[in-house]
A and B are shown apart, each in its own frame.
Chain A
Amino acid sequence: MTALKIFAPGGFTTVQDRGRFGFQQMGVPVSGALDLFAFQVGNLLVGNQDTCAGLEITVMGPKIEILKEMDIALTGAKMAMTLNDKPVEQWTSIRVRPKDILTISMVQQGCRAYLAVSGGIKVAKVMGSYATYVGGKIGGFMGRPLQQGDILETHGAVLLKIPRALPRKDIPKYPTHALIRVICGPQDHYFDMDASPLLGTPYMVTTKADRMGYRLQGRAVPIKENMPKSIVSEPAMPGSIQIPPDEQPIILLVEQTVGGYAKIATVISTDLPRVAQTTPGDIVQFEKIDLASAHRLHREETQKFRRLKAFFG
Protein backbone atom coordinates (compact mmCIF):
# COMPACT_ATOMS: atom_id res chain seq x y z
CA MET A 1 0.00 0.00 0.00
CA THR A 2 1.31 3.46 -0.86
CA ALA A 3 2.64 5.25 2.19
CA LEU A 4 4.96 8.15 1.32
CA LYS A 5 4.95 10.70 -1.47
CA ILE A 6 8.19 12.60 -1.94
CA PHE A 7 7.62 16.36 -2.43
CA ALA A 8 11.33 17.16 -2.18
CA PRO A 9 13.95 14.42 -1.89
CA GLY A 10 16.50 16.29 0.29
CA GLY A 11 20.25 16.08 -0.23
CA PHE A 12 20.68 12.40 -0.93
CA THR A 13 17.99 10.05 0.32
CA THR A 14 18.13 6.31 -0.30
CA VAL A 15 16.28 3.18 0.82
CA GLN A 16 18.61 1.11 3.02
CA ASP A 17 18.55 -1.94 5.24
CA ARG A 18 21.39 -3.61 7.16
CA GLY A 19 23.15 -4.55 3.94
CA ARG A 20 23.50 -7.08 1.14
CA PHE A 21 25.55 -10.04 2.26
CA GLY A 22 27.01 -13.05 0.46
CA PHE A 23 28.02 -11.49 -2.85
CA GLN A 24 31.24 -9.65 -2.04
CA GLN A 25 33.23 -12.39 -3.75
CA MET A 26 31.36 -11.40 -6.92
CA GLY A 27 32.18 -7.73 -6.41
CA VAL A 28 28.82 -6.69 -4.98
CA PRO A 29 29.45 -4.36 -2.03
CA VAL A 30 27.37 -4.65 1.16
CA SER A 31 25.79 -1.18 0.90
CA GLY A 32 23.19 -0.69 3.67
CA ALA A 33 22.83 1.96 6.38
CA LEU A 34 26.17 3.57 7.22
CA ASP A 35 25.21 4.32 10.83
CA LEU A 36 23.83 0.92 11.75
CA PHE A 37 23.17 1.89 15.38
CA ALA A 38 20.89 4.81 14.52
CA PHE A 39 19.25 2.81 11.73
CA GLN A 40 18.47 -0.17 13.96
CA VAL A 41 17.17 1.98 16.81
CA GLY A 42 14.76 3.51 14.27
CA ASN A 43 13.29 0.09 13.50
CA LEU A 44 12.99 -0.64 17.22
CA LEU A 45 11.15 2.63 17.87
CA VAL A 46 8.41 1.84 15.35
CA GLY A 47 8.18 -1.84 16.35
CA ASN A 48 9.79 -3.23 13.18
CA GLN A 49 11.82 -6.39 12.58
CA ASP A 50 15.60 -5.89 12.21
CA THR A 51 15.32 -6.71 8.52
CA CYS A 52 12.99 -3.81 7.63
CA ALA A 53 14.15 -1.07 5.28
CA GLY A 54 14.08 2.65 6.01
CA LEU A 55 15.42 5.86 4.50
CA GLU A 56 18.96 7.15 4.88
CA ILE A 57 18.88 10.95 4.68
CA THR A 58 22.08 12.87 4.02
CA VAL A 59 22.72 16.46 5.19
CA MET A 60 19.41 17.92 3.94
CA GLY A 61 16.08 16.30 4.78
CA PRO A 62 13.15 15.54 2.48
CA LYS A 63 9.59 16.88 2.46
CA ILE A 64 7.10 14.03 2.43
CA GLU A 65 3.32 13.67 2.20
CA ILE A 66 1.99 10.83 4.34
CA LEU A 67 -0.46 8.55 2.51
CA LYS A 68 -1.37 6.07 5.24
CA GLU A 69 -1.62 5.81 9.00
CA MET A 70 1.61 4.56 10.52
CA ASP A 71 4.31 5.15 13.11
CA ILE A 72 7.54 6.84 12.10
CA ALA A 73 10.78 7.73 13.87
CA LEU A 74 13.73 9.87 12.84
CA THR A 75 17.08 8.83 14.33
CA GLY A 76 20.73 9.62 13.64
CA ALA A 77 21.95 13.10 12.71
CA LYS A 78 20.16 16.03 14.33
CA MET A 79 17.74 17.58 11.85
CA ALA A 80 14.80 19.78 12.77
CA MET A 81 11.55 18.07 11.83
CA THR A 82 7.99 19.34 11.59
CA LEU A 83 4.67 17.56 11.14
CA ASN A 84 2.14 19.93 9.56
CA ASP A 85 4.46 22.81 10.51
CA LYS A 86 4.59 21.81 14.20
CA PRO A 87 8.01 20.77 15.54
CA VAL A 88 8.32 17.07 16.46
CA GLU A 89 11.05 15.18 18.32
CA GLN A 90 13.67 12.80 17.00
CA TRP A 91 14.44 9.38 18.55
CA THR A 92 10.75 8.89 19.35
CA SER A 93 7.82 7.27 17.57
CA ILE A 94 5.26 9.59 16.00
CA ARG A 95 1.82 8.56 14.73
CA VAL A 96 1.17 10.05 11.30
CA ARG A 97 -1.99 9.99 9.16
CA PRO A 98 -2.93 10.51 5.51
CA LYS A 99 -2.44 14.09 4.26
CA ASP A 100 0.09 14.89 7.00
CA ILE A 101 3.13 16.77 5.72
CA LEU A 102 6.48 15.79 7.20
CA THR A 103 9.33 18.25 6.67
CA ILE A 104 12.88 17.42 7.67
CA SER A 105 15.33 20.34 7.50
CA MET A 106 19.06 20.97 7.23
CA VAL A 107 21.38 18.95 9.44
CA GLN A 108 22.46 20.60 12.70
CA GLN A 109 24.72 17.89 14.09
CA GLY A 110 26.06 14.79 12.34
CA CYS A 111 25.53 13.91 8.67
CA ARG A 112 23.03 11.06 8.20
CA ALA A 113 19.55 10.66 9.66
CA TYR A 114 17.31 7.59 9.38
CA LEU A 115 13.57 7.56 8.88
CA ALA A 116 11.93 4.34 10.04
CA VAL A 117 8.31 3.61 9.14
CA SER A 118 5.92 0.89 10.38
CA GLY A 119 6.44 -2.33 8.40
CA GLY A 120 9.46 -0.94 6.56
CA ILE A 121 9.72 0.44 3.02
CA LYS A 122 8.43 -2.08 0.48
CA VAL A 123 10.65 -2.40 -2.56
CA ALA A 124 11.74 -5.50 -4.48
CA LYS A 125 14.57 -7.38 -2.77
CA VAL A 126 17.62 -7.62 -5.01
CA MET A 127 20.03 -10.41 -4.14
CA GLY A 128 18.48 -10.75 -0.72
CA SER A 129 18.45 -7.09 0.31
CA TYR A 130 16.45 -3.87 0.03
CA ALA A 131 19.60 -1.73 0.20
CA THR A 132 20.30 0.77 -2.57
CA TYR A 133 23.70 0.32 -4.22
CA VAL A 134 23.80 3.56 -6.17
CA GLY A 135 26.99 2.75 -8.13
CA GLY A 136 25.51 -0.54 -9.35
CA LYS A 137 22.03 0.97 -9.86
CA ILE A 138 20.42 -1.88 -7.93
CA GLY A 139 18.20 -2.30 -4.88
CA GLY A 140 16.16 0.32 -3.07
CA PHE A 141 13.80 2.44 -5.14
CA MET A 142 14.77 1.83 -8.79
CA GLY A 143 18.41 1.58 -7.76
CA ARG A 144 18.74 5.32 -7.22
CA PRO A 145 18.34 8.12 -4.66
CA LEU A 146 14.76 9.36 -4.24
CA GLN A 147 13.42 12.08 -6.53
CA GLN A 148 10.52 14.48 -6.40
CA GLY A 149 7.25 12.70 -7.14
CA ASP A 150 8.38 9.21 -6.07
CA ILE A 151 5.69 7.24 -4.26
CA LEU A 152 6.88 4.60 -1.81
CA GLU A 153 4.99 1.65 -0.39
CA THR A 154 5.39 0.02 3.01
CA HIS A 155 4.71 -3.49 4.25
CA GLY A 156 1.63 -4.01 6.40
CA ALA A 157 2.25 -3.68 10.13
CA VAL A 158 0.54 -3.58 13.50
CA LEU A 159 0.79 -0.05 14.89
CA LEU A 160 2.19 0.64 18.34
CA LYS A 161 -0.16 0.49 21.34
CA ILE A 162 1.96 3.01 23.22
CA PRO A 163 4.56 5.40 21.74
CA ARG A 164 8.25 4.57 22.12
CA ALA A 165 11.13 6.94 22.87
CA LEU A 166 14.81 6.23 23.23
CA PRO A 167 16.02 7.10 26.75
CA ARG A 168 17.85 10.41 26.56
CA LYS A 169 21.11 8.94 27.88
CA ASP A 170 21.24 6.52 24.93
CA ILE A 171 21.02 9.23 22.25
CA PRO A 172 24.46 9.43 20.59
CA LYS A 173 26.27 12.74 20.16
CA TYR A 174 27.91 13.55 16.87
CA PRO A 175 30.86 15.83 17.60
CA THR A 176 32.61 17.77 14.82
CA HIS A 177 35.88 16.42 16.23
CA ALA A 178 35.55 12.64 16.26
CA LEU A 179 37.90 10.21 17.94
CA ILE A 180 38.00 7.07 15.79
CA ARG A 181 39.55 3.83 17.03
CA VAL A 182 41.42 1.62 14.59
CA ILE A 183 43.17 -1.73 14.41
CA CYS A 184 46.48 -1.66 12.55
CA GLY A 185 46.65 -3.55 9.28
CA PRO A 186 46.18 -5.37 7.02
CA GLN A 187 49.23 -3.66 5.41
CA ASP A 188 50.70 -1.95 8.50
CA HIS A 189 54.05 -3.54 7.54
CA TYR A 190 54.18 -1.04 4.64
CA PHE A 191 54.42 1.80 7.17
CA ASP A 192 56.57 2.91 10.08
CA MET A 193 53.72 2.69 12.57
CA ASP A 194 55.63 4.21 15.50
CA ALA A 195 56.31 7.38 13.53
CA SER A 196 53.15 7.46 11.39
CA PRO A 197 51.26 10.75 11.57
CA LEU A 198 48.01 8.82 10.99
CA LEU A 199 47.93 7.94 14.67
CA GLY A 200 47.81 11.11 16.71
CA THR A 201 47.57 13.98 14.26
CA PRO A 202 44.17 15.34 13.16
CA TYR A 203 42.71 14.86 9.67
CA MET A 204 40.00 16.91 8.04
CA VAL A 205 37.08 15.37 6.16
CA THR A 206 37.13 16.76 2.61
CA THR A 207 34.16 17.33 0.30
CA LYS A 208 35.01 14.04 -1.38
CA ALA A 209 33.07 12.04 1.17
CA ASP A 210 30.29 9.67 0.20
CA ARG A 211 29.09 6.10 0.72
CA MET A 212 32.08 4.75 -1.24
CA GLY A 213 34.64 6.45 0.93
CA TYR A 214 35.87 9.50 2.82
CA ARG A 215 38.93 11.33 1.53
CA LEU A 216 40.81 13.02 4.37
CA GLN A 217 43.36 15.80 4.41
CA GLY A 218 46.22 16.22 6.86
CA ARG A 219 49.85 15.24 7.30
CA ALA A 220 51.12 12.92 4.57
CA VAL A 221 51.31 9.23 5.48
CA PRO A 222 54.44 7.93 3.75
CA ILE A 223 54.97 4.31 2.75
CA LYS A 224 58.36 2.87 3.79
CA GLU A 225 61.11 3.51 1.21
CA ASN A 226 61.65 -0.19 0.53
CA MET A 227 57.97 -1.05 0.04
CA PRO A 228 55.97 -0.90 -3.23
CA LYS A 229 53.54 2.01 -3.66
CA SER A 230 50.60 -0.29 -4.36
CA ILE A 231 49.52 -3.82 -3.53
CA VAL A 232 48.07 -6.68 -5.55
CA SER A 233 44.38 -5.65 -5.67
CA GLU A 234 42.35 -7.24 -2.88
CA PRO A 235 38.96 -6.81 -1.23
CA ALA A 236 38.70 -4.22 1.53
CA MET A 237 36.54 -4.18 4.66
CA PRO A 238 34.35 -1.14 5.30
CA GLY A 239 36.49 1.13 7.48
CA SER A 240 39.80 0.28 5.76
CA ILE A 241 42.10 3.30 5.64
CA GLN A 242 43.99 3.14 2.37
CA ILE A 243 46.94 5.31 1.40
CA PRO A 244 47.07 6.26 -2.31
CA PRO A 245 50.14 7.83 -4.01
CA ASP A 246 49.27 11.34 -2.74
CA GLU A 247 49.74 9.94 0.81
CA GLN A 248 46.39 11.36 2.01
CA PRO A 249 44.22 8.71 3.71
CA ILE A 250 40.88 7.47 2.35
CA ILE A 251 38.45 5.61 4.62
CA LEU A 252 36.70 3.06 2.42
CA LEU A 253 33.02 2.54 3.22
CA VAL A 254 30.18 0.30 2.00
CA GLU A 255 30.00 0.82 -1.76
CA GLN A 256 33.42 -0.49 -2.71
CA THR A 257 34.83 -4.01 -2.64
CA VAL A 258 38.34 -4.00 -4.13
CA GLY A 259 41.27 -1.65 -3.61
CA GLY A 260 44.83 -1.58 -4.93
CA TYR A 261 46.52 0.60 -2.31
CA ALA A 262 48.04 -0.40 1.01
CA LYS A 263 45.68 -0.18 3.97
CA ILE A 264 47.47 1.09 7.05
CA ALA A 265 44.63 0.44 9.52
CA THR A 266 40.93 -0.37 9.77
CA VAL A 267 38.27 1.54 11.72
CA ILE A 268 36.62 -0.75 14.30
CA SER A 269 33.01 -1.69 13.55
CA THR A 270 31.74 0.13 16.66
CA ASP A 271 33.16 3.44 15.39
CA LEU A 272 32.01 3.23 11.75
CA PRO A 273 28.81 5.16 12.62
CA ARG A 274 30.99 7.98 13.99
CA VAL A 275 32.81 8.21 10.66
CA ALA A 276 29.48 8.20 8.82
CA GLN A 277 28.25 11.09 10.98
CA THR A 278 31.12 13.43 10.11
CA THR A 279 30.71 16.02 7.36
CA PRO A 280 33.26 17.90 5.21
CA GLY A 281 35.29 20.22 7.42
CA ASP A 282 34.97 18.00 10.50
CA ILE A 283 38.09 16.60 12.16
CA VAL A 284 38.80 12.92 12.75
CA GLN A 285 41.61 11.68 14.94
CA PHE A 286 42.66 8.05 14.94
CA GLU A 287 43.63 6.05 17.98
CA LYS A 288 45.13 2.56 17.84
CA ILE A 289 43.55 -0.18 19.96
CA ASP A 290 44.12 -3.95 20.11
CA LEU A 291 41.76 -6.63 18.82
CA ALA A 292 40.64 -7.80 22.27
CA SER A 293 39.57 -4.24 23.21
CA ALA A 294 37.73 -3.86 19.90
CA HIS A 295 35.88 -7.11 20.51
CA ARG A 296 34.99 -5.97 24.03
CA LEU A 297 33.52 -2.75 22.57
CA HIS A 298 31.66 -4.79 19.96
CA ARG A 299 30.14 -6.96 22.73
CA GLU A 300 29.15 -3.89 24.74
CA GLU A 301 27.45 -2.44 21.66
CA THR A 302 25.55 -5.70 21.09
CA GLN A 303 24.50 -5.80 24.74
CA LYS A 304 23.37 -2.18 24.64
CA PHE A 305 21.19 -2.98 21.66
CA ARG A 306 19.78 -6.13 23.32
CA ARG A 307 18.97 -4.10 26.42
CA LEU A 308 17.07 -1.54 24.31
CA LYS A 309 15.21 -4.31 22.54
CA ALA A 310 14.17 -5.79 25.90
CA PHE A 311 13.25 -2.32 27.18
CA PHE A 312 10.72 -1.89 24.38
CA GLY A 313 9.57 -5.52 24.74
Chain B
Amino acid sequence: MMASGLFEKAVYRLAGDTGFLVEFGEGIDPTINARVRAMAKALENKKPLGVGEIIPTYRSILIIYDPGETCPDALFPVIERLETSLKTLKLEPARLVEIPVCYGGDFGPDMVNVQKAHGLTSDQVVQIHSHPEYLIYMVGFTPGFPFLGGLDKRLFTPRLETPRMRVPEGSVGIANNQTGMYPIASPGGWQLIGKTPLKLFAPDRTTPFLYKAGDRIKFIPISEQQFSRIARQEEDR
Protein backbone atom coordinates (compact mmCIF):
# COMPACT_ATOMS: atom_id res chain seq x y z
CA MET B 1 0.00 0.00 0.00
CA MET B 2 1.25 3.48 -0.86
CA ALA B 3 1.34 6.38 1.56
CA SER B 4 -2.06 7.79 0.60
CA GLY B 5 -3.76 4.43 1.16
CA LEU B 6 -3.99 3.83 -2.58
CA PHE B 7 -3.55 0.15 -3.49
CA GLU B 8 -0.81 -0.61 -6.02
CA LYS B 9 -3.25 -2.86 -7.80
CA ALA B 10 -7.04 -2.79 -7.62
CA VAL B 11 -8.73 -5.39 -5.39
CA TYR B 12 -11.85 -7.18 -6.65
CA ARG B 13 -14.68 -8.28 -4.39
CA LEU B 14 -17.74 -10.22 -5.55
CA ALA B 15 -21.12 -8.70 -4.73
CA GLY B 16 -23.44 -11.55 -5.69
CA ASP B 17 -23.80 -13.04 -9.18
CA THR B 18 -24.54 -9.76 -10.97
CA GLY B 19 -22.07 -7.30 -9.46
CA PHE B 20 -18.59 -6.78 -8.10
CA LEU B 21 -16.59 -4.05 -6.42
CA VAL B 22 -13.26 -2.76 -7.66
CA GLU B 23 -11.44 -1.26 -4.65
CA PHE B 24 -8.68 1.26 -5.23
CA GLY B 25 -7.63 1.98 -1.68
CA GLU B 26 -8.37 2.02 2.01
CA GLY B 27 -10.23 4.80 3.76
CA ILE B 28 -11.53 8.23 2.81
CA ASP B 29 -8.95 10.13 0.82
CA PRO B 30 -9.15 12.60 -2.12
CA THR B 31 -6.37 10.79 -4.05
CA ILE B 32 -8.18 7.45 -3.88
CA ASN B 33 -11.48 9.11 -4.77
CA ALA B 34 -9.88 10.85 -7.78
CA ARG B 35 -8.71 7.43 -9.02
CA VAL B 36 -12.24 6.08 -8.53
CA ARG B 37 -13.78 8.87 -10.58
CA ALA B 38 -11.18 8.64 -13.34
CA MET B 39 -11.78 4.89 -13.64
CA ALA B 40 -15.57 5.27 -13.51
CA LYS B 41 -15.40 7.86 -16.29
CA ALA B 42 -13.08 5.69 -18.39
CA LEU B 43 -15.47 2.76 -17.99
CA GLU B 44 -18.51 4.88 -18.85
CA ASN B 45 -16.74 6.19 -21.98
CA LYS B 46 -16.02 2.68 -23.19
CA LYS B 47 -18.62 0.54 -21.48
CA PRO B 48 -17.70 -3.15 -21.85
CA LEU B 49 -20.40 -5.43 -23.29
CA GLY B 50 -22.84 -6.66 -20.66
CA VAL B 51 -22.05 -3.93 -18.12
CA GLY B 52 -25.07 -2.10 -16.74
CA GLU B 53 -24.55 0.48 -14.02
CA ILE B 54 -21.17 1.81 -12.95
CA ILE B 55 -21.43 3.27 -9.46
CA PRO B 56 -18.49 5.26 -8.03
CA THR B 57 -18.10 5.22 -4.24
CA TYR B 58 -15.59 6.72 -1.75
CA ARG B 59 -12.87 4.22 -2.62
CA SER B 60 -14.32 1.71 -5.04
CA ILE B 61 -16.57 1.21 -8.04
CA LEU B 62 -19.57 -1.11 -7.98
CA ILE B 63 -20.03 -2.66 -11.42
CA ILE B 64 -23.36 -4.30 -12.23
CA TYR B 65 -23.37 -6.75 -15.13
CA ASP B 66 -25.64 -9.14 -16.97
CA PRO B 67 -24.32 -12.68 -16.39
CA GLY B 68 -26.01 -13.68 -19.66
CA GLU B 69 -23.51 -11.51 -21.52
CA THR B 70 -20.33 -11.31 -19.46
CA CYS B 71 -18.66 -12.39 -16.23
CA PRO B 72 -15.96 -11.05 -13.88
CA ASP B 73 -13.26 -13.21 -15.49
CA ALA B 74 -13.92 -11.43 -18.78
CA LEU B 75 -14.16 -7.97 -17.19
CA PHE B 76 -11.17 -7.98 -14.80
CA PRO B 77 -8.55 -7.85 -17.62
CA VAL B 78 -10.44 -5.03 -19.35
CA ILE B 79 -10.43 -3.03 -16.12
CA GLU B 80 -6.75 -3.77 -15.52
CA ARG B 81 -5.82 -2.52 -19.00
CA LEU B 82 -7.84 0.63 -18.36
CA GLU B 83 -6.08 1.12 -15.05
CA THR B 84 -2.62 1.00 -16.64
CA SER B 85 -3.71 3.53 -19.26
CA LEU B 86 -5.19 5.72 -16.56
CA LYS B 87 -2.12 7.94 -16.21
CA THR B 88 -3.05 9.64 -19.49
CA LEU B 89 -6.69 10.09 -18.53
CA LYS B 90 -7.64 13.53 -17.31
CA LEU B 91 -10.38 14.23 -14.82
CA GLU B 92 -13.03 16.74 -15.73
CA PRO B 93 -12.36 19.97 -13.83
CA ALA B 94 -14.52 19.84 -10.68
CA ARG B 95 -17.65 21.97 -10.90
CA LEU B 96 -18.33 24.27 -7.97
CA VAL B 97 -22.00 24.20 -6.98
CA GLU B 98 -23.26 26.94 -4.68
CA ILE B 99 -25.96 25.94 -2.22
CA PRO B 100 -27.75 28.81 -0.44
CA VAL B 101 -28.41 27.97 3.22
CA CYS B 102 -30.44 29.80 5.84
CA TYR B 103 -28.63 28.88 9.08
CA GLY B 104 -30.09 28.56 12.57
CA GLY B 105 -33.59 29.33 13.87
CA ASP B 106 -36.39 26.96 12.86
CA PHE B 107 -34.31 25.83 9.87
CA GLY B 108 -31.42 24.69 12.06
CA PRO B 109 -32.90 23.49 15.36
CA ASP B 110 -29.60 21.90 16.47
CA MET B 111 -27.45 24.99 15.92
CA VAL B 112 -27.44 25.48 19.70
CA ASN B 113 -26.05 21.95 20.23
CA VAL B 114 -23.17 22.63 17.85
CA GLN B 115 -22.45 26.01 19.48
CA LYS B 116 -22.48 24.50 22.97
CA ALA B 117 -20.26 21.56 21.97
CA HIS B 118 -17.51 23.90 20.78
CA GLY B 119 -18.14 27.18 22.62
CA LEU B 120 -18.80 29.04 19.40
CA THR B 121 -21.26 31.78 18.51
CA SER B 122 -23.88 31.11 15.84
CA ASP B 123 -22.04 33.49 13.46
CA GLN B 124 -18.80 31.58 14.00
CA VAL B 125 -20.48 28.24 13.18
CA VAL B 126 -21.92 29.77 10.00
CA GLN B 127 -18.58 31.29 9.05
CA ILE B 128 -16.65 28.04 9.60
CA HIS B 129 -19.27 25.85 7.89
CA SER B 130 -19.70 28.06 4.82
CA HIS B 131 -15.97 28.62 4.28
CA PRO B 132 -14.70 25.37 2.65
CA GLU B 133 -15.34 23.95 -0.78
CA TYR B 134 -16.53 20.45 0.12
CA LEU B 135 -15.68 17.54 -2.18
CA ILE B 136 -18.61 15.25 -3.04
CA TYR B 137 -17.07 11.80 -2.54
CA MET B 138 -20.22 9.86 -3.30
CA VAL B 139 -23.97 10.28 -3.68
CA GLY B 140 -26.40 7.83 -2.10
CA PHE B 141 -28.36 6.79 0.98
CA THR B 142 -31.33 8.69 -0.47
CA PRO B 143 -31.59 10.29 -3.95
CA GLY B 144 -29.05 13.11 -4.19
CA PHE B 145 -27.68 12.73 -0.63
CA PRO B 146 -24.05 13.94 -0.91
CA PHE B 147 -21.29 12.41 1.20
CA LEU B 148 -19.04 15.45 1.66
CA GLY B 149 -15.42 15.65 2.72
CA GLY B 150 -13.69 18.64 4.23
CA LEU B 151 -15.62 19.59 7.36
CA ASP B 152 -13.56 21.79 9.70
CA LYS B 153 -12.48 19.90 12.87
CA ARG B 154 -13.89 22.74 14.99
CA LEU B 155 -17.43 21.62 14.00
CA PHE B 156 -17.14 17.83 14.54
CA THR B 157 -20.28 17.01 16.57
CA PRO B 158 -21.71 13.59 17.41
CA ARG B 159 -25.09 12.51 16.07
CA LEU B 160 -28.26 13.19 18.08
CA GLU B 161 -28.80 10.61 20.80
CA THR B 162 -32.32 10.01 19.54
CA PRO B 163 -32.67 10.32 15.78
CA ARG B 164 -35.60 12.29 14.39
CA MET B 165 -38.42 10.33 12.77
CA ARG B 166 -38.54 12.94 10.06
CA VAL B 167 -35.86 15.38 8.94
CA PRO B 168 -37.39 17.97 6.56
CA GLU B 169 -36.09 18.02 2.98
CA GLY B 170 -33.35 20.57 2.37
CA SER B 171 -31.97 20.29 5.92
CA VAL B 172 -28.21 20.78 6.29
CA GLY B 173 -26.55 18.89 9.11
CA ILE B 174 -23.44 17.59 10.82
CA ALA B 175 -22.67 14.06 12.04
CA ASN B 176 -19.22 13.55 13.57
CA ASN B 177 -16.70 14.47 10.87
CA GLN B 178 -19.30 14.64 8.10
CA THR B 179 -21.59 17.33 6.81
CA GLY B 180 -24.37 16.92 4.27
CA MET B 181 -27.94 17.66 3.36
CA TYR B 182 -31.21 15.76 3.10
CA PRO B 183 -32.68 16.01 -0.44
CA ILE B 184 -35.87 14.23 0.66
CA ALA B 185 -37.55 14.07 4.05
CA SER B 186 -36.31 10.97 5.85
CA PRO B 187 -35.52 9.74 9.36
CA GLY B 188 -32.09 10.88 10.53
CA GLY B 189 -29.81 11.61 13.44
CA TRP B 190 -27.71 14.48 12.11
CA GLN B 191 -27.41 17.78 13.98
CA LEU B 192 -29.41 20.20 11.82
CA ILE B 193 -27.84 23.64 11.50
CA GLY B 194 -29.71 25.08 8.51
CA LYS B 195 -31.79 24.50 5.43
CA THR B 196 -31.51 25.16 1.71
CA PRO B 197 -34.53 26.35 -0.30
CA LEU B 198 -33.20 24.55 -3.41
CA LYS B 199 -34.85 21.36 -4.59
CA LEU B 200 -31.95 18.92 -4.36
CA PHE B 201 -33.97 16.10 -5.93
CA ALA B 202 -36.45 17.11 -8.63
CA PRO B 203 -37.46 13.85 -10.36
CA ASP B 204 -39.69 15.65 -12.88
CA ARG B 205 -36.97 17.98 -14.17
CA THR B 206 -34.75 16.95 -17.09
CA THR B 207 -31.80 17.15 -14.72
CA PRO B 208 -33.16 15.87 -11.40
CA PHE B 209 -29.91 16.63 -9.53
CA LEU B 210 -27.78 19.75 -9.09
CA TYR B 211 -24.46 17.94 -8.64
CA LYS B 212 -22.69 14.61 -8.92
CA ALA B 213 -19.78 12.82 -7.29
CA GLY B 214 -16.54 14.73 -7.89
CA ASP B 215 -18.18 18.17 -7.88
CA ARG B 216 -17.52 20.60 -5.05
CA ILE B 217 -20.12 22.29 -2.88
CA LYS B 218 -19.96 25.72 -1.29
CA PHE B 219 -22.64 26.79 1.17
CA ILE B 220 -23.73 30.43 0.84
CA PRO B 221 -25.38 31.91 3.95
CA ILE B 222 -28.72 33.61 3.16
CA SER B 223 -31.41 35.42 5.15
CA GLU B 224 -34.96 34.19 5.79
CA GLN B 225 -36.23 36.68 3.19
CA GLN B 226 -33.84 35.31 0.58
CA PHE B 227 -34.88 31.78 1.57
CA SER B 228 -38.57 32.56 0.92
CA ARG B 229 -37.79 34.22 -2.41
CA ILE B 230 -35.68 31.30 -3.69
CA ALA B 231 -38.23 28.78 -2.36
CA ARG B 232 -40.96 30.53 -4.40
CA GLN B 233 -38.79 30.50 -7.53
CA GLU B 234 -38.18 26.78 -7.05
CA GLU B 235 -41.92 26.14 -6.78
CA ASP B 236 -42.52 27.99 -10.07
CA ARG B 237 -39.87 26.09 -12.00
Contact = CB atoms under 8 A, between A and B. Distances in A.
B67 A295 contact: yes
A116 interface: no
B28 A232 contact: yes
Of B15, B27, B64, B208, the most chain A CB neighbours within 10 A belong to: B15
Contacts of A126: 203-204
Contacts, number: 131
Contacts of A257: 140-141
A268 B16 contact: yes
B59 interface: yes
- Describe B's contact surface by its main secondary structure: loop
Contacts of B212: 25-26
B53 A22 contact: yes
Contacts of A294: 16-17, 67
Contacts of B60: 234
B90 to A, nearest CB: 20
Contacts of A108: none
B143 A23 contact: yes
Contacts of B53: 21-22, 24-25
A163 interface: no
A183 B147 contact: no
A294 B18 CA distance: 9
Interface string B36-76: 00000000000000001111111110101001100110000
B58 A183 contact: no
Contact of B139 (A26, A187, A234, A291): A26
Contact of A298 (B13, B17, B138, B213): B17
B21 interface: yes
A280 interface: no
Contacts of B56: 25
Contacts of A269: 16-18, 67
Interface string A229-266: 00011111101100000000000000001100001001
A205 to B, nearest CB: 20
A156 interface: no
Nearest to A263: B15
Interface in A276-303: 291, 294-295, 297-299, 302
Contacts of A232: 27-28, 57-59
Interface of A: 21-28, 126-127, 135-138, 183-187, 232-237, 239-240, 257-258, 263, 266-270, 291, 294-295, 297-299, 302
Interface of B: 13-21, 27-28, 52-60, 62, 64, 67-68, 71-72, 138-145, 147, 184, 186, 201, 203-204, 208-209, 212-213
26 contacts: A23-B208, A24-B53, A24-B62, A25-B139, A26-B140, A27-B139, A27-B141, A135-B184, A138-B203, A183-B14, A186-B14, A233-B57, A233-B140, A233-B147, A234-B21, A235-B140, A237-B15, A237-B19, A239-B16, A240-B15, A266-B14, A269-B17, A294-B17, A295-B67, A295-B71, A298-B17
